[in-house]
């Protein structure tokens, strides 16, 4: 089993739709969680951290479910500019300061 | 101001050659990384250095040799390049407990 797993998609949604991505992780000792966004031929950039209580940033909401070991990202009112690959990342903590990335979920927002 | 920079941006070379990729960060972070992103877009960690010391080596072939002259720089030297080395190589840096920042990537094509 991969350490961090995501549905690769693609998710094809119309503008204005709400779309949700899930990401599961295998190590229950994982400490921190993040969503990154990667545009075509660009580097991954942090979209948001994921906190235990859930957190929101505009149209984006991130949730963490430690019991079931998954994180989610909800995008409301999708825009064309949201089209990208969304990568979840999990930090095991400790001395290595290492992030494990999922394979990414491709989102294509259609006009 | 560029936080994490890499050179070159593109690298096209013949099988069997030796090449280097350079990375610099001006964020004052202690930890730097090299990732490889293959054609399937999976972002896989290769190496991590903390304050010039190697802390992660993810069973990468020993043709790959990272070098950190100081904590702001982490270079990657690749000997005897093979076709399968073609990928995008991302450098990244991270402060303890902070967000990880990626460089713009180096697109390596081995012919």
Tens-digit pLDDT profile for residues A1-27: 678 999 888 999 999 999 999 999 998
Average pLDDT value for residue range B61-82? 94
Name the minimum distance, in Å, from the CA of A25 to any CA of chain B: 16
CB contact under 8 A, B55 and A95: yes
The answer, for A43 touching chain B at a CB cutoff of 8 Å, is: yes
What pLDDT score does B1 carry? 63
- Inter-chain CB proximity A96 and B55 less than 8 Å: yes
Mean per-residue pLDDT, A54-71: 94
Distance in angstroms (rounded) separating the CA atoms of residues A65 and B38:
30
Residue B6 to chain A, least CA–CA distance (Å): 11
How many beta-carbon pairs below 8 A join chains A and B?
Answer: 48
Question: Would you say A49 and A33 are in contact if contact means Cβ atoms under 8 Å apart?
Answer: yes
Distance CA A82, CA B6 (A): 26
Question: How far B74 CA lies from chain A's nearest CA (Å)?
Answer: 16
Can you say whether residue A93 is alpha, beta or left, with left for phi > 0 and alpha for psi between -120 and 50 degrees? Answer: left
To 5 degrees, how large is the angle CA A50–CA B37–CA A86?
Answer: 30
In this complex, is the C-beta atom of B104 within 8 Å of any C-beta atom belonging to chain A? Answer: yes
pLDDT at B35 over 90: yes
Q: Which helix (H) or strand (E) covers residue B56, if one does?
A: strand B53-57
Q: How many percent of chain A have pLDDT more than 70?
A: 97
Query: What pLDDT does residue A9 have?
Result: 86
CB B100 within 8 Å of CB B38: no
* pLDDT at A99 (0 to 100): 86
- Mean per-residue pLDDT of chain A: 92
Q: How far apart, in whole angstroms, are the C-alpha atoms of residue A74 and residue A36? A: 13
């Amino acid at each position: 089993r991969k350490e961090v797993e995501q549905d690769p998609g693609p998710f094809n949604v119309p503008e204005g739709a709400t779309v949700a991505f899930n990401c599961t992780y295998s190590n229950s000792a994982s400490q921190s969680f993040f969503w990154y966004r990667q545009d075509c031929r660009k580097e991954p950039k942090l979209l948001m951290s994921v906190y235990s209580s859930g957190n929101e940033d505009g149209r984006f909401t991130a949730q963490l479910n430690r019991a079931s070991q998954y994180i989610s990202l909800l995008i409301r009112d999708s825009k064309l500019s949201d089209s990208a690959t969304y990568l979840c990342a999990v930090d095991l903590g400790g001395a290595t300061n290492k992030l494990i990335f999922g394979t990414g979920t491709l989102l294509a927002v259609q006009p | 101001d560029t936080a994490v920079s890499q050179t070159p941006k593109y690298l096209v070379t013949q099988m069997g050659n030796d090449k280097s990729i350079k990375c610099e960060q001006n964020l004052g972070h202690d930890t730097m990384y090299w990732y490889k992103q293959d054609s399937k877009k999976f972002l896989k960690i290769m190496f991590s250095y903390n304050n010039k010391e190697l802390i992660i080596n993810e069973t990468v072939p020993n043709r790959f040799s990272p070098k950190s002259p100081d904590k702001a720089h982490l270079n990657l030297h690749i000997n005897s390049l093979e076709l399968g080395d073609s990928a995008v190589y991302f450098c990244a840096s991270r402060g303890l407990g902070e967000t990880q920042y990626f460089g713009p990537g180096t697109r390596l094509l081995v012919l």
